Structure 1
């Protein structure tokens, strides 16, 4: 049943060993990272920046702002640069994909510079790992869409639904990051229980909207790679949100038990 339905929504897999391998690697690595978060082995940034014993003594650390800039800047540069490479961004889907990825990472860099408040550092190893993931996934998504040139469009076109979901996701993510930034006054590095927006229902609504954002991207560019990356991202953010809720429960005795991790009333 599933194999006969998917071609209605997806482009066929391109004849590219690189993309075939990256589809498997991205999905597997992100999913395993989500399981690691659940088991307590966290990527060392945000509230978990010093959660795990370092693999070696005195690992190199970055300030929170510098680390976050390293996470997102290479992917932003790759997305913007795609417009300058002849023949890569052609057709509406390619243009929308590169624009969506550029806006996604521009928003993140903007938040790093002007919105986020920082309470800790970032281990360089984690920063490089995450930055490489974002950069490679951005390049791979654009390349996968480029290889669809000359191939028939999927029978069911969800391109504009993808644009709507992407806009909902990016705006919802920004709004909840803004609410998080307002929890602290200048110089305050402590954590508080977030309030407002969907924080009254889930502890990680910014992750929920990031998932919606990437689902939108996958509908704009319904390639096997984009969908594999999005599915892996969903599993990773489920694990990260579960770990985040567990952390809040351990730190705050008055944390409301009805507040879920990621999906209101469900998870």
Structure 2
């Protein structure tokens, strides 16, 4: 088993912190994904209002109304506007990935350059969507925004740092970096396209959720999550560090749970939701 791993991954870096974090990632992300599937959701997007019976709802890109003032006061949680909350989620990771271009030398390490560039582009795209694509009608729990922000910031900086530490180590026997780059480009394109389709579901002033039908939405209700998983697998293939594989697997576990919860939500809200539409993987799950 160890020999197979070393064929596709660098040896673990000489960092107790990174190695411990890699071991923690999988169970923690898997637990979060399991919690999502059980209805214990992070309060953003449609799940901002979980527990509230008001049926006034918004689109899949953002938090919505759902009598959020009353709900926020009930929980004693401070909220911020959805746009601001999403910027809190993504901006620190983007700034960190941009800053790390100047912290670590990239000239003689193509993997590090590709990984750093892909992560910076990923979060730049996220911020662009927040500012110019997504539509908003409500608020987001500040605590949730901070948790997501810290998660993205930690994953981004540690993946780049692990790649930096891999310099000088023996290259994996199987080179996956160009396959990873291709997967990243497919993932970021598909994710953006389906986020754009979601933004077109609702006209100005319309706060009701609708069942998306274009693109891969005819087969799965969360194609944007599917393409995000492809992105993170792309990151791990570019990097080929054990830590990046850990982050990719952890992200996959979480989004599997999140997509399952999303499908259950649509089933509960729409009597005409097509039963053949899966959660994440066409025809399978």
What is the match of residue 266 of structure 1?
284
Task: Please say if residues 89 and 98 of structure 1, whose CA atoms lie closer than 8 Å, have aligned partners that are also in contact.
Answer: no
Superposition RMSD in Å: 1.5
Deviation at 1:91, TM superposition (A): 1.0
Is 1:238 aligned with 2:256? yes
What is the match of residue 213 of structure 1?
231
1:12-68 CA-partner distances (Å, limit 9, x unpaired): 111211101211222222111100001110000000012158797421001110000
Task: Please say if residues 119 and 190 of structure 1, whose CA atoms lie closer than 8 Å, have aligned partners that are also in contact.
Answer: no
What is the match of residue 51 of structure 1?
50
What is the match of residue 12 of structure 2?
13
Distance 1:89 1:22, change over 3 A: farther
SS at match of 2:49: coil
1:116-135 CA-partner distances (Å, limit 9, x unpaired): 01233111111111100000
Is 1:41 aligned with 2:40? yes
1-structure distance, mates of 2:281, 2:190: 14
Task: Please say if residues 169 and 209 of structure 1, whose CA atoms lie closer than 8 Å, have aligned partners that are also in contact.
Answer: yes
Q: TM-score, normalised by structure 2?
A: 0.90
What is the match of residue 27 of structure 1?
26
What is the match of residue 81 of structure 1?
99
The partner residue of 2:170 within 152, 155, 158 is: 152
Deviation at 1:166, TM superposition (A): 0.3
Task: Please say if residues 184 and 190 of structure 1, whose CA atoms lie closer than 8 Å, have aligned partners that are also in contact.
Answer: yes
What are structure 1's unaligned runs of at least 5 residues? none
1:205-262 CA-partner distances (Å, limit 9, x unpaired): 0000000001011000011111001001001000000000000000000000000000
Task: Please say if residues 169 and 211 of structure 1, whose CA atoms lie closer than 8 Å, have aligned partners that are also in contact.
Answer: yes
Task: Please say if residues 172 and 206 of structure 1, whose CA atoms lie closer than 8 Å, have aligned partners that are also in contact.
Answer: yes
Distance 1:167 1:83, change over 3 A: same
What is the match of residue 128 of structure 2?
110
1:132-152 CA-partner distances (Å, limit 9, x unpaired): 000011000000000011111
What is the match of residue 129 of structure 1?
147
Task: Please say if residues 23 and 228 of structure 1, whose CA atoms lie closer than 8 Å, have aligned partners that are also in contact.
Answer: yes
Q: TM-score, normalised by structure 1?
A: 0.96
Distance 1:96 1:231, change over 3 A: same
Deviation at 1:99, TM superposition (A): 0.2
Task: Please say if residues 46 and 119 of structure 1, whose CA atoms lie closer than 8 Å, have aligned partners that are also in contact.
Answer: no
What is the match of residue 175 of structure 1?
193
1:61-116 CA-partner distances (Å, limit 9, x unpaired): 01110000000000000111111114367410000000000000000000000000
Distance 1:86 1:233, change over 3 A: closer
Task: Please say if residues 12 and 223 of structure 1, whose CA atoms lie closer than 8 Å, have aligned partners that are also in contact.
Answer: yes
